[in-house]
């Protein structure tokens, strides 16, 4: 009985002490993984007054960050340089820093294997390192998007194997990152944070921690709820994009412009959320995260039908875009083989230079396989490999536009002058409806 009371007493003390350091912002923080998610988080914490270390295995990235050079559009170099200069932020490859940290947040990649099963190796590596160096009174939070159960089934045993008493001397929680790189309206602090701890004390501490940097924190009953909330958000997006894509195929057969239908439907003030068709899905989240859930459910003897169908529709879109290009050229009595195709944008979404899983690359690969001569212009991506061949972005001159047999808009970057494009290009296949509202002869534009 006395022992139990002692343990409770110690855990209350740990919680109170760490809570105080978090409130005073004297807690030392390590953010593991300094990518699109980890770097903005580290910077936000440093701006809030914490001393933050960005731990990353990539030496080149660490050197760049310590020189004040950011790799993401969300953090500008001047801001980073200021934080490095006044010792609020340091990047390192030395995992020894974990031993000296009060709070450790893990933001490492969660990609898929070729088999489409989760590749959880980065999370295992980062969490094993943290567990090997834990000290009593530490808060550890996983932010990487992952399958439901990761925190309790994978992280908790790793810490227990090192002698940690989770919820008593080490506090573990999951809190999904919901940042949208390049989004100028919703930045990290504007996006509510969902937090689920292994025990109520873990949730309380993690909640208190995030309240220092975000306006709203939602505490949920378990890490699994928080893990699933993130997956539901991304499955929702994936399925609705697939619905918009299929709707575009239907509108085409019916001879109706998809965008006009969506805009009209969107005038309903409730019960409708507009999603738009495109050349497919890209980035580190939407094409990948649903497979984490599908995999976990398969282990539970359940096939996720919506996820499967959405995947099938979205992955068929690049081939559909290639057919639209071929159809447009055919109308002009040209064939795809030998045609000069200029692609506008290769990033997976507007305003960023991220080409991970970008459907534009698949469109370009398929066009090349069918004999087209491809070039691309993307102000955010200076060079890109298509089917193993490196292409360099061309300048978007009037001449480039005029000599192309077809211009295909694959990313609706805000930097492109769409009016000029439709005036000069003989044929435009617009997969993003970026030319909506421009004036050009209708037969010159084919929109999804």
Ligand X SMILES: NC(=O)c1ccc[n+]([C@@H]2O[C@H](COP(=O)([O-])OP(=O)(O)OC[C@H]3O[C@@H](n4cnc5c(N)ncnc54)[C@H](O)[C@@H]3O)[C@@H](O)[C@H]2O)c1
Q: Determine the interface stretch with ligand X among 26-34, 163-171, 197-205, 414-422 (rule: CB under 6 A).
A: 26-34
Q: How far is the CB of 34 from ligand X (least distance, A)?
A: 5
Instruction: State the alpha helices, DSSP H only, in 86-155.
Output: 121-132
Instruction: Please say which residue, 41 or 251, places its beta carbon nearer to ligand X.
Output: 41
Q: How far is the CB of 59 from ligand X (least distance, A)?
A: 9
User: At closest approach, how far in Å is the CB of 229 from ligand X?
Assistant: 12
Stretch that binds ligand X, among 15-23, 57-65, 80-88, 247-255 (CB under 6 A): 57-65
Long-range contacts made by residues 151-160, C-beta under 8 angstroms, separation at least 24?
151/196, 151/198, 151/223, 151/224, 151/227, 152/198, 152/222, 152/223, 152/224, 154/120, 154/123, 154/124, 154/127, 155/127, 155/131, 156/198, 158/124, 158/127, 158/128, 158/131, 159/131, 159/134
Q: Per CB under 6 A, which region of 50-58, 186-194, 330-338, 367-375 contacts ligand X?
A: 50-58
Q: Does 210 bind ligand X (CB under 6 A)?
A: no
Q: Is 107 annotated as catalytic? A: no
Of 47, 48, 112, 125, the residue at the interface with ligand X (CB under 6 A) is: 125
**How near is the Cβ of 56 to ligand X at its closest, in Å?**
4
CB of 54 to ligand X, least distance (A): 9
Q: Is 380 in the site for ligand X (CB under 6 A)?
A: no
Binding-residue total with ligand X (CB under 6 A): 27
The alpha carbon of residue 253 and the mean position of all alpha carbons in its chain are separated, in whole angstroms, by 33
Nearest to ligand X of 61, 259 (CB atom): 61
Residue 64 interacts with ligand X (CB under 6 A)?
no
Tell me phi and psi for residue 116, to 5 degrees: 75, 10
Report the nearest approach of ligand X to the CB of residue 183 (Å): 9
Binding ligand X (rule: CB under 6 A), the pick from 126, 170, 251, 325 is 126
Comparison of 54 and 345: residue with beta carbon closer to ligand X = 54
Please tell me which residue in 107, 202, 251, 285 is annotated as part of the active site: 285
Query: Which one among 10, 57, 66, 373 touches ligand X, defined by CB under 6 A?
Result: 57
- The only residue of 34, 151, 222, 291 in contact with ligand X, by rule CB under 6 A: 34
User: In terms of CB distance, is 144 or 411 closer to ligand X?
Assistant: 144
Rule CB under 6 A: which of 85-114 touch ligand X? 107-110
Residue 389 β-bridge partners: 386
Shortest Cβ contact with ligand X: which residue? 35
Ranges within 396-425 binding ligand X (CB under 6 A): none
Q: Where are the beta strands (DSSP E) in 98-252?
A: 103-106, 138-142, 170-174, 193-197, 217-220
Stretch that binds ligand X, among 121-129, 324-332, 338-346, 389-397 (CB under 6 A): 121-129
Rounded to an integer, what distance in angstroms lies between the CA atom of residue 261 and that of residue 174?
Answer: 40
How much of the chain is in helix, strand and coil states, percent to nearest 5?
Answer: 45, 15, 40
- Vertex 398: Cα angle to 352 and 443 (nearest 5): 90
Q: What angle do helix axes 223-254 and 289-299 make, rounded to 10 degrees?
A: 110
Taking the complex as a whole, the smallest distance from the CB of residue 345 to ligand X amounts, in Å, to 18
- Binding residue for ligand X, selected from 32, 173, 406, 407, defined by CB under 6 A: 32
Stretch that binds ligand X, among 52-60, 97-105, 365-373, 376-384 (CB under 6 A): 52-60
Residue selected from 61, 88, 349, 432 as contacting ligand X according to rule CB under 6 A:
61
7 contacts: CB under 8 Å, gap ≥ 6 = 165, 168
CA 176 to chain CA centroid, Å, is 11
285 interacts with ligand X by CB under 6 A: yes
The only residue of 30, 70, 144, 358 in contact with ligand X, by rule CB under 6 A: 144
Q: Say if strands 217-220 and 389-392 run parallel, antiparallel, or are unpaired.
A: unpaired
| Residue 31 DSSP symbol | E
**Closer CB to ligand X, 73 or 257, in the complex:** 73
35 counts as binding ligand X under rule CB under 6 A: yes
- Site mask, ligand X, residues 153-182, x = CB under 6 A? ------------------------xxx-x-
Please give the DSSP secondary-structure letter assigned to residue 227. Answer: H
CA pair distance 296, 273, nearest whole angstrom? 28
What is the rounded distance in angstroms from the CA atom of residue 129 to the CA atom of residue 346? Answer: 36
- Bridge partners of 390, per DSSP, are 385
Cα separation, 143 vs 193, whole angstroms: 10
**Residues 6 or more apart in contact with residue 75 via CB below 8 angstroms:** 39, 40, 43
Smallest Cα–Cα separation from 310: which of 280, 283, 330?
280
Give the C-alpha separation, 186 to 183, whole Å.
Answer: 6
- Residues with a catalytic annotation lie at 285
Residues that bind ligand X (CB under 6 A): 32-38, 55-58, 61, 107-110, 122, 125-126, 144-145, 177-179, 181, 284-285
């Amino acid at each position: 009985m006395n022992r139990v009371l002692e343990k409770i007493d110690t855990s209350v003390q740990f919680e109170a002490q760490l809570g105080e350091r978090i409130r005073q912002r004297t807690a030392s923080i390590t953010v593991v993984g300094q990518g699109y998610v980890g770097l903005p988080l580290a910077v936000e914490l440093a701006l809030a007054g914490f001393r933050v270390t960005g731990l990353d295995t990539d030496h080149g990235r660490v050197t760049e960050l310590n020189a004040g050079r950011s790799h993401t559009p969300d953090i500008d170099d001047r801001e980073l340089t200021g934080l490095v200069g006044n010792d609020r932020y340091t990047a390192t490859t030395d995992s020894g820093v974990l031993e000296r940290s009060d709070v450790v947040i893990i933001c490492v990649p969660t990609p898929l294997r070729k088999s489409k099963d989760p590749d959880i190796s980065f999370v295992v590596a980062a969490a094993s390192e943290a567990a090997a160096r834990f000290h009593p009174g530490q808060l550890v939070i996983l932010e990487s998007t992952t399958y439901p159960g990761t925190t309790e089934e994978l992280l908790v045993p790793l810490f227990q194997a090192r002698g940690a008493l989770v919820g008593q001397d080490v506090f573990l929680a999951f809190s999904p990152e919901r940042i949208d790189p390049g989004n100028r309206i919703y930045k990290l602090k504007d996006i509510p944070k969902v937090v689920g701890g292994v025990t109520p004390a873990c949730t309380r501490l993690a909640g208190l921690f995030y309240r220092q940097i975000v306006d709203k924190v939602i505490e949920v009953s378990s890490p699994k709820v928080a893990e699933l909330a993130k997956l539901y958000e991304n499955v929702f997006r994936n399925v609705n994009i697939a619905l918009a894509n299929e709707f575009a195929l239907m509108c085409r057969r019916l001879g109706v412009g998809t965008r006009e239908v969506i805009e009209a439907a969107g005038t309903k003030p409730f019960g409708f959320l507009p999603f738009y068709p495109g050349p497919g899905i890209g980035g580190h989240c939407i094409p990948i995260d649903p497979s984490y859930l599908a995999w976990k459910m398969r282990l539970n003897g359940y096939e996720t039908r919506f996820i499967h169908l959405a995947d099938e529709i979205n992955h068929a879109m690049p081939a559909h875009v290639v057919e639209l290009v071929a159809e447009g050229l055919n109308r002009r009595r040209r064939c795809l083989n030998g045609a000069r195709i200029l692609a506008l944008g290769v990033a997976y979404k507007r305003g960023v230079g991220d080409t991970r899983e970008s459907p534009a690359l698949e469109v370009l690969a398929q066009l090349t396989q069918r004999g087209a001569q491809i070039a691309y212009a993307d102000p955010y991506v200076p060079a890109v490999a298509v089917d193993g061949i490196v292409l360099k972005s061309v300048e978007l001159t009037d001449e480039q536009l005029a000599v192309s047999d077809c211009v295909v808009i694959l990313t609706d970057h805000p930097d492109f002058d769409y009016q000029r494009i439709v005036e000069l290009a003989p044929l435009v296949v617009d997969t993003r409806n970026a030319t909506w509202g421009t004036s050009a002869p209708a037969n010159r534009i084919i929109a999804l």
